[in-house]
Structure 1
Amino acid sequence: MAAFDWQGAVLAVLLGLATPVLAEPLQIAGLSPPGAASLAAEVLVPRFQLNAKAVLAFSLDDQRVHISPWPAQLPANLGAQYVAARTVVHPAGPMRIVTFRRAQDADAWLRMAAGGGQRSLLLPDRIVGRINDGFVYLLDHNEPRRVDVNQPVTLTDDAHRECWQFVLLNTSIPQKSQVDAEPRADWYMRRIACPQE
């Protein structure tokens, strides 16, 4: 009877835990096609529906918008609030951006991006640098900062004295045979209280 290799089993478990588990790509469906309207005005959305399959649905003017999967870290019950959505045309594919703003707030509390590319501006002096398989490098005041999938990091908007939690949801790296394709990433940014120093 062969002896059980405990060290090998422990190593396999540890390697499995260290490997990032990529979520499915963020889908934002139901927006106007690229070029129809480059920037949408905010619309008051009275109701949001989140189903058991993590699909958030709502009406934005005459469009029925679906966001899936809705991140589990975000609120499941959204009250009435203002939403703006737009599609940015890019040779590697469209980037879809949705922002949420509560009626009592002057600024958005949540920004979501599906299909974001390298050099996407997040905040002043903070951009998405290189997109890799399971992580990105953000350029924070031109200093590279690695961010892994589902590992929240805090970004500071110095100009507005606000802090944002950036969460990378997914990355998509094209096959080497796809010459014109570029790496893409999905993320959300949620406004948070700045940490006390």
Structure 2
Amino acid sequence: MLTRFTIHIIALLSTFAMVQASAEALKISGASDQAGWATALRTDSNSVLRFSIDGHAWQVSPWPTTLPRRLEKQFVEISTGMHPAGPIRRMTLRKPSSQQAWLELVAAGPFDHPLVPGWTLRNGTTLGADIVGPTSTPQEVKIGQSRILKDSNGYCWRFGLIATAIPAKRTEIASEREPRADWYLASAPHCR
């Protein structure tokens, strides 16, 4: 006979398995690092954003559901930074009328990383991360959640946690197994 405690534990484990399974790692796929104008950026029914820069096809998946599914002309910059725990891929978007990016996506980014002035991403629970701001009090963010951050310059950003992971051990080369995170930062006018 199952006790109330056993049922509670089974429910918690089931929830954990579902969250982990639904936290697909962010992939920014295409040619090597590139920057340029892209038009008609569209998200398909599988939550994959597709676009091209100078004839080179790019895909971003999964595209966060809280972000626009259709984007008009954008200046896209994609870069890869090397790290012992694996490459870090970063993509920024900016509108033609602006000199500053309104969106940044990071795939396999490190913890203890400054997000915006005054805010840092820290390793948290197995189901999320902590963000630490001016008050130094950690705020938990679970996978799939977002938070509004007001930076030290007074600008507001929506931080969304897409996934967290520990890179798989590779036998062919020495590597670190440092926890990584996928996230986005989107401009949040009026702090909403």
SS at match of 1:194: helix
Greater Rg over alpha carbons, structure:
1
Structure 2: where are the runs of 5+ without partners?
none
Which residue of the partner structure matches residue 28 of structure 2? Answer: 28
Which residue of the partner structure matches residue 158 of structure 1? Answer: 152
Output the CA distance in 2 between the equivalents of 1:165 and 1:126.
12
CA contact (8 A) 1:131 1:171 kept: no
Which residue of the partner structure matches residue 106 of structure 1? Answer: 99
Give the aligned residue type for 2:141: V
Which residue of the partner structure matches residue 110 of structure 2? Answer: 117
Give the aligned residue type for 1:130: N
Displacement of 1:122 in angstroms is 0.9
Output the CA distance in 2 between the equivalents of 1:195 and 1:180.
37
Displacement of 1:89 in angstroms is 0.9
Structure 1: where are the runs of 5+ without partners?
none
Q: Kindly indicate whether residue 84 of structure 2 is the aligned counterpart of residue 91 of structure 1.
A: yes
Give 1:8-157 correspondences, 5 Å limit: 11=8, 15=12, 19=16, 21-22=19-20, 23-32=23-32, 40-41=34-35, 43-61=36-54, 63-141=56-134, 142-157=136-151
What's the RMSD between the two structures over aligned residues?
3.0
Q: Kindly indicate whether residue 184 of structure 2 is the aligned counterpart of residue 188 of structure 1.
A: yes
SS at match of 1:113: strand
CA contact (8 A) 2:110 2:181 kept: yes
Offset from partner CA, 1:78-132 (integer Å, 9 cap, x none)? 1111111111111101111111111123322211111011122211121212254
Give the aligned residue type for 2:144: N
Task: Count residues with an aligned counterpart.
Answer: 185
Output the CA distance in 2 between the equivalents of 1:195 and 1:55.
27
Displacement of 1:171 in angstroms is 0.7
Q: TM-score, normalised by structure 2?
A: 0.80
**Sequence identity (%):** 32
Structure number with higher helix proportion: 2
